[in-house]
Chains A and B, each alone.
Chain A
Amino acid sequence: MANQPAIDPMHQFLIHKIVELPTFHVGKLAFDMSITNSVASMIAGAAILILFFILTARREIVPNRGQALAESLYNIIDRVLVGPIIGPEGKPYVPYIFALFLVILVLNLMSVVLAIFNVGGLELTFAVTSQLAVTATLAVLTFFSVFILGFVKHGPKFVTLFAPSGMPWPMLFFMVPIEMISYFVRPVTLAMRLFGNMLGGHVVMSLFGSFVVALGIVALSGGLATLAFIPSALSFTMIVALTGLELVVAILQAFVFAALATVYLNEVVNFGHGH
């Protein structure tokens, strides 16, 4: 595959600069603040979100379509996740989980829906959530803000989280390290889940897209090769089906990230009487 430059599913994840901006040095780290295609997509996502809520957040009793959509998004967090999982004590945290959910949702959906228009070298959007830097930031941010909230709310008592109750004390020597590993692997799994799902979906879509073009070019050479139009058309059908699947995955991954954040938050909020 590597000798054929037409099929390169990783090309879509390449970052390049659009606007050159100065680099900041903090210690050894060099923060290149240039607007890349990834950063441009992030800013577009934030702009879409803010515009959407400014346009739809009305206070009408009978909602129109936009308001109904905004309210059903809010209800997913408020009534489906935080309400049943945490309970009424989780009400103050709804905006944070809602923001988390919205950011992932809009970036995921942008990368699937607007990617349809990325034809002929035009780069309308970039799959931001398939950048490990972004998903790792999100995961670490979520995990450590919840972890620190635990210490703020419960003080040093919070470390008993790692010691399962009702266990003979010699067992703790085995259980505490296992519990700690399974606890601190959470940000890794959070980051890898989102990253892997978006990366995988985009790679497969890109592969089938390359098949359509490559097999179409082969078919155009005439003769018996014209038969190559059949697999080309099949690949095209696959892209349509995969786009549908990726839409579901995009929404589901945003939901799952918010759900896991809610579950982790629940351990902190209901600490001591949850288990």
Chain B
Amino acid sequence: MATETQESTAAPEAKPAGLPQFDFQWWPGQIAWFLIMFLVVLVFVRLFAAPRVGGAIDAREGKISGDIADARRLKDEAEAQAAAAAAETAQARAAAQRLAGDARAKAQAEVAAKLAQEEAKLAEKAGVAEARIAQSRDAAMTHVAGIAAEAAGAIVGKLTGRAATPAELTAARGS
């Protein structure tokens, strides 16, 4: 037993026994240096890295949402403008249609008036012509009686050998 304890106490000189992590000789120095290093990193991250990186992320998100809001607003504006333009077009079309209708009505009225005038003129001409025709027909009719009497006289004369009197001829035509 004595030799064994001697061995285990002699061992650290030759080669450190146990896990090197449990060699407490190095603990205070390591802890002190680690605290210093951690503090430096903490201050650096707190004052520089985190605000910088977090700020960049926030700025990007703000920009993206701002851009989306801008785009949405512009789209709404464009839609409103398109609606206004459509309304204007409709109005203009209605005005044009009304104008065209007016023009058409006016033209129709003019045409109708001219037509009526022409018809009146024609009717007048036709009336004059009819009157002349009637006149000439009447005239012709009176001539027909004379001619018929003459012809009848001639026929009677030829048949009877004697000339019929005009009174007899008139009486015969009347019957």
Q: Taking beta carbons and an 8 Å cutoff, which residues of A are in contact with B?
A: 10, 13-15, 29-34, 36, 38-39, 42-43, 45-46, 49-50, 53-54, 57-61, 63, 67, 70-71, 73-75, 78, 94-96, 98-99, 102-103, 128, 130-134, 137-138, 141, 195, 199
> Could you say which of B30-38, B87-95, B115-123, B137-145 contacts chain A?
B30-38
Contacts of A128 in B (CB 8 A): 34
On whether the beta carbons of A71 and B49 are closer than 8 Å, the reply is no
Of A33, A38, A43, A59, the contact of B56 (CB 8 Å cutoff): A59
Q: How far is the CA of A34 from the CA of B28 in the complex (A)?
A: 11
On whether the beta carbons of B37 and A43 are closer than 8 Å, the reply is yes
Q: Taking beta carbons and an 8 Å cutoff, which residues of B are in contact with A?
A: 16, 19-23, 25-35, 37-38, 40-42, 44-46, 48-50, 52-57, 59-60, 63
Contacts of A74 in B (CB 8 A): 50, 53-54, 57
Contacts of B38 in A (CB 8 A): 99, 103, 137-138, 141
Contacts of A54 in B (CB 8 A): 48
On whether the beta carbons of B40 and A46 are closer than 8 Å, the reply is yes
On whether the beta carbons of A71 and B16 are closer than 8 Å, the reply is no
Interface of chain B: mostly helix, strand, loop or mixed: helix
Using known A-B contacts A36-B29, A59-B59, A137-B31, determine if residue A98 contacts B37 with beta carbons closer than 8 Å: no
Using known A-B contacts A42-B37, A132-B21, determine if residue A94 contacts B50 with beta carbons closer than 8 Å: yes
Chain A's closest residue to B28 (CB) is A31
Using known A-B contacts A29-B28, A99-B41, determine if residue A134 contacts B59 with beta carbons closer than 8 Å: no
Contacts of A53 in B (CB 8 A): 44-45, 48-49, 52-53
On whether the beta carbons of A199 and B29 are closer than 8 Å, the reply is no
Contacts of A15 in B (CB 8 A): 20, 23, 26, 30
Q: How far is the CA of A113 from the CA of B32 in the complex (A)?
A: 26
B37 to chain A minimum Cβ distance, whole angstroms, is 5
B87 to chain A minimum Cβ distance, whole angstroms, is 40
Using known A-B contacts A99-B45, A132-B21, determine if residue A137 contacts B35 with beta carbons closer than 8 Å: yes
On whether the beta carbons of B41 and A61 are closer than 8 Å, the reply is no
A27 to chain B minimum Cβ distance, whole angstroms, is 11
| 17 pairs of residues in contact across A and B, judged by CB atoms under 8 Å | A15-B20, A30-B28, A31-B32, A39-B29, A39-B30, A39-B33, A46-B41, A53-B53, A57-B53, A60-B56, A71-B53, A71-B56, A94-B50, A99-B45, A131-B30, A133-B27, A133-B34
On whether the beta carbons of B41 and A49 are closer than 8 Å, the reply is yes
Q: How far is the CA of A134 from the CA of B34 in the complex (A)?
A: 7
